[in-house]
Structure 1
Amino acid sequence: MLTTNTIDRQDFREAMSRFAAAVLLVTTDGPAGRRGVTVSAACSVSDDPATMLVCLNQGSVHNRRFSDNGNFAVNVLSVDSERLARAFSGEGGLSLDERFALGAWERRATGAPLLADALVAFDCRMIENRVVATHHVMIGTVEAMRFGPKAPSLLYRDRLYHQL
């Protein structure tokens, strides 16, 4: 059933800015090329099988690389990774190669880049990808994980970075 949404877009964005979220770096690599994006919209779906969900803005044509590659990694950032989060969000206008040069990367099962100093990184094989409103909603099974150091998490709230 199709309904009409009467919520003002800017009001909704303001409301969501008050929602504290972990800062994540979502990456992919494969035949379509490498890509990395800073996001806060990701979560687990299930633990049996281990499954993750990520939302990416469809406004960037480069985000199609995720579905074309069929993989993604969810890298959970620590407070020490704020510079990386800013770079992958587009601040500073760095090229893709310059952004990736800011971190050390590993690869596991799918070939998606895993950040070596992420608190934890989930290597996912995409099982579903659909457009919902303005975003690609990607769902993937976790094929491998990489645990990093225990450290304070980088959070995003009120359009600012914070630590927990």
Structure 2
Amino acid sequence: MDNRQFRNAMGKFATGVTVITTQVDGEPFGMTANAFMSVSLDPKLVVISVGHNAKMLQRIQQSNRFAVNILSADQQEFSTLFAGQKNIDGMIEFTTLAGLPILKDTIATIACNVVNVHEAGDHTLFIGEVTDIRLDEGEPLLFFQGHYHALNQSILSKN
């Protein structure tokens, strides 16, 4: 199989869209990511995956902390802005959670301290212990087959 076929297969898995934020020397940084998942309830752990070529890799290694900002359906512009992995100080108005810069109006934000780091192919996995959570109402921004989507208002089944 080639890389394109692998990427196409992974694109068949609908994901939420997050922006990972951290702070280094008082400056906030962010990166769009959909490689995020919960790992454990006790202790409360999550994992994010950061590519070895991403500037965010060094920043999280330096700060040893990160926040996961789960975007709402109307925050696609944040996803595209942070996909550039640039210093966004002054471009975005941040608030804070557990001393980390976070985005306003996300449907959930999770602040973490890095407790484990694992190399996995061309990415580094950061396992973070959750230190604080902020929740809001709203529908999630979704990513599927290379495009943004929102939830359909109809519910197929209730379990």
TM-score normalised by length of structure 1: 0.84
Query: Residues 4-57 of structure 1, C-alpha deviation per residue, up to 9 Å, x if partnerless?
Result: xxx422211110011100000101113385321101110000111111100011
Matched, 1:97 2:91: no
Kept after mapping to 1: 8 A contact 2:141/2:149 = yes
Percent of matched pairs sharing the same residue: 29
Matches within 5 A, 1:140-159: 140-148=128-136, 150-159=137-146
Matched, 1:36 2:30: yes
Letter in 2 for 1:14: N
Kept after mapping to 1: 8 A contact 2:30/2:86 = no
Match of 2:69 among 51, 69, 75: 75
RMSD: 1.9
Bigger proportion of residues as helix: 1
TM-score normalised by length of structure 2: 0.87
Distance 1:51 1:143 in 2: 10
Kept after mapping to 2: 8 A contact 1:30/1:112 = no
Match of 1:118 among 106, 115, 123: 106
Matches within 5 A, 1:48-87: 48-87=42-81
Distance 1:34 1:138 in 2: 18
Kept after mapping to 2: 8 A contact 1:119/1:151 = yes
Q: Which residue of 1 aligns with 2:116?
A: 128
Match of 1:162 among 139, 144, 149: 149
Matches within 5 A, 1:11-30: 11-30=5-24
Letter in 2 for 1:116: K
Question: Matched residue of 1:118: which SS?
Answer: coil
Long gaps (5+) in structure 1: 1-6
Greater CA drift, 54-63 or 37-46: 54-63
Letter in 2 for 1:101: M
